[in-house]
């Protein structure tokens, strides 16, 4: 089976404004970076609807996001989460891609899937958008896998350089989920310092500034991958942020594209052990265009290639 790449031209129409790091050029770089990766089937993502968004977001939050979308110019949900006339449609396509990816993998349409979409989602909380994120694409995909497809144990793993506080908050208190994150600390949003117990298992691994590839790989090998093996997920969602790359302007970590490829292959092995290979990846951060293209290539090549 092929690996699906779900994307949509509407995701280019979300424009946070001049000088903002979450530029439409990010998606162009990602798609350019996937050229030459074999075994991919690129498809147009569907749009989610507001009923689907309500699986993790409150009606008031959804209304606030769409009310902020202007007819022209820019609107603001917070000081760094800005929206333009195309932002609402882009956010619906990003969420719809994540949900459709789960459907495709669960029904055997694809072996795995990568959602090349924006805006990103892992900072979006049940009650507010923040941190460049409008709706939480990864959390929506995870809840869809459990509530619609009946998966008993769904894991969301997040290697973005920033802690996915929104995903953690969306899943906290829900049974049948694990959220695991490695992230630079201190860095935005200032959360993810320690693990928390509860119906949703949470594994946070804060990493110091300057963390290099060997230290990053050891953190996953010693902390997160064993926790995932213990949890034995029957579906795996990946929040794939590439802003830990050494060239990225929003972090001080020292990772290379090869580190993301290594981790992706480790996650594929884990999915094979526990989840019949079922894995869906959703684009999060990454703000140096060249590093982003190279990292996305390494990630998707590992996702689609032989094990």
Distance CA 96, CA 22 (A): 20
For residue 254, name the pLDDT band (cuts at 50, 70, 90).
Answer: very high
Provide the pLDDT for residue 196: 73
Tens of pLDDT, residue by residue over 219-251, are 999 999 999 999 999 999 999 999 999 999 999
Catalytic option among 122, 123, 183, 299: 123
- Mean per-residue pLDDT of the chain: 97
In this prediction the pTM is: 0.98
Region 267-287 average pLDDT: 98
Tens of pLDDT, residue by residue over 168-203, are 999 999 999 999 999 999 999 999 998 777 788 999
Domains of the chain: 3-304 (3.40.800.20)
Tens of pLDDT, residue by residue over 17-46, are 999 999 999 999 999 999 999 999 999 999
pLDDT at 130 over 90: yes
| Residue 183 designated active-site | no
């Amino acid at each position: 089976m092929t690996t699906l790449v779900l994307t949509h031209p509407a995701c280019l129409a979300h424009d946070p404004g001049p000088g903002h790091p979450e530029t439409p050029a990010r998606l162009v770089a990602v798609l350019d970076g996937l050229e030459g990766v074999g075994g991919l089937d690129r498809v147009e993502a569907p749009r989610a609807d507001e009923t689907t968004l309500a699986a993790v977001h409150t009606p008031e939050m959804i209304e606030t996001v769409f009310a902020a979308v202007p007819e022209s110019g820019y609107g603001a949900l917070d000081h760094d989460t800005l929206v333009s006339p195309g932002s609402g449609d882009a956010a619906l396509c990003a969420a719809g891609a994540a949900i459709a990816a789960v459907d495709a993998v669960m029904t055997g349409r694809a072996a795995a899937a990568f959602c090349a979409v924006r805006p990103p989602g892992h900072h979006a909380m049940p009650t507010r958008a923040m941190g460049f994120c409008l709706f939480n694409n990864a959390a929506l995909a995870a809840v869809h896998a459990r509530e619609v497809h009946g998966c008993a144990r769904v894991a969301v793993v997040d290697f973005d350089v920033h802690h996915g506080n929104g995903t953690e908050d969306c899943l906290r208190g829900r049974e049948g989920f694990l959220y695991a994150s490695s992230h630079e600390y201190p860095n935005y949003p200032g959360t993810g310092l320690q693990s928390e117990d509860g119906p949703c298992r949470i594994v946070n691994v804060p990493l110091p500034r300057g963390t290099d590839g060997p230290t990053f790989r050891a953190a996953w090998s010693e902390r997160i991958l064993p926790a995932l093996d213990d949890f034995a997920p029957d579906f795996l969602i990946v929040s794939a942020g590439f802003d830990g790359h050494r060239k990225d302007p929003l972090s001080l970590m020292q990772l290379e594209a090869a580190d993301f490829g290594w981790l992706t292959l480790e996650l594929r092995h884990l999915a094979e052990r526990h989840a019949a290979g079922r894995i869906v990846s959703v684009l999060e951060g990454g703000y140096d265009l060249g590093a982003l293209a190279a990292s996305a290539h390494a990630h998707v090549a590992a996702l689609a290639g032989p094990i």
